[in-house]
């Protein structure tokens, strides 16, 4: 086994519907993504980008195939554990188009929700949150409410939230869609830095080809199959 692998997919298939409504979305996908890589996932609208991301995140069930997350086989024609939520909490961080911060909690409290769910002590989770805010150069905002931050700052907090439990994998669904070009480039550069410094595999859905030059690999869905190109 490749000790550097974060995600390994073998013969993964996904379809929706039956009969005349049957749609084949992903057919016989095979690929490996390593730790420290920022991978762009691109495809036309409706081609299955988010579906693939949600399968990697143990949210959507494939029809068949195998999924390895790190050195753990989590799916082989069925989920191999009933605790897929535990896998998500411990191994995976999610970033979305919108930041989805809770508006009535300050920034530190937004960050500490997930570790507290994992029974991390309050002071320990707050210390980790402050370290991440320092890492993202927004430590002075720890007591601010989301409404008091700019769009770019809120997205930084959302990225920090994805890292709070030290995941092996971060899945980002168009994280720059709501940002202007300069802020989008800043966010993608930040993701690249995170992948390298924290040895995390990051898969980023994007429709913006200007972001591709900052990625290590480009993963495309073409005719229901997965194709990799160098960035």
Q: For residues 32-55, b (16+ Cβ closer than 10 Å) or e, as one string?
A: bbbbbbbbbbbbeeebbbbbbbbb
Q: What is the pLDDT of residue 210?
A: 87
CA atoms 112, 116, 201, 196: torsion sign:
positive
Domain 35-63+79-230, CATH: 3.40.50.300
Q: What is the pLDDT of residue 3?
A: 77
Q: What is the pLDDT of residue 117?
A: 79
Give the residue extent of every domain in the chain: 35-63+79-230
Q: What is the pLDDT of residue 179?
A: 79
DSSP 8-state code for residue 72: E
Judge contact between 57 and 88, C-beta under 8 A: yes
Q: What is the pLDDT of residue 230?
A: 65
Q: What is the pLDDT of residue 118?
A: 77
User: What predicted TM-score, i.e. pTM, was given to this entire model?
Assistant: 0.91
Per the rule left: phi > 0, alpha: psi between -120 and 50, beta: everything else, 29 is beta
Q: Residue 132 and residue 160: Cα distance in Å, rounded?
A: 6
Tokens linked to 180 = 């202007």
User: pLDDT tens digits, residue range 149-194?
Assistant: 998 899 899 999 999 989 999 999 998 887 788 888 888 999 999 9
Q: What is the pLDDT of residue 1?
A: 61
| Spans of the chain, pLDDT less than 50 | none
Q: Which residue has the tokens 């399968």?
A: 55
Residue 24 CA, chain-centre distance (Å), reads: 24
> What one-character-per-residue DSSP string does 138-170 give?
-GGGTT--GGGS-HHHHHHHHHHHHHTT--SEE
């Amino acid at each position: 086994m490749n000790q550097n692998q974060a995600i390994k997919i073998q013969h993964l298939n996904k379809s929706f519907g039956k009969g005349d409504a049957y749609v084949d979305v992903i057919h016989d996908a095979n690929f490996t993504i390593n730790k420290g890589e920022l991978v762009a996932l691109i495809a036309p609208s409706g081609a299955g980008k988010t579906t693939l991301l949600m399968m990697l995140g143990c949210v959507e069930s494939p029809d068949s195939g195998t999924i390895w997350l790190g050195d753990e086989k989590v799916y082989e024609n069925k989920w191999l554990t009933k605790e897929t939520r535990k896998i998500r909490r411990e191994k995976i961080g999610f970033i979305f188009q919108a930041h989805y911060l809770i508006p009535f909690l300050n920034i530190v409290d937004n960050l500490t929700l997930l570790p507290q769910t994992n029974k991390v002590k309050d002071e320990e989770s707050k210390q980790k949150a402050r370290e991440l805010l320092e890492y993202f150069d927004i430590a002075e905002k720890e007591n601010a409410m989301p409404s008091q931050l700019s769009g770019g700052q809120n997205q930084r907090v959302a990225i920090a939230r994805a890292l709070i439990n030290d995941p092996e994998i971060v899945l980002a669904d168009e994280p720059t869609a709501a940002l202007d070009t300069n802020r989008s480039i800043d966010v993608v550069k930040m993701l690249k830095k995170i992948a390298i410094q924290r040895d995390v595999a990051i898969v980023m859905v994007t429709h913006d080809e200007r972001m591709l030059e900052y990625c290590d690999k480009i993963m495309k869905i073409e005719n229901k199959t997965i194709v990799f190109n160098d960035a």
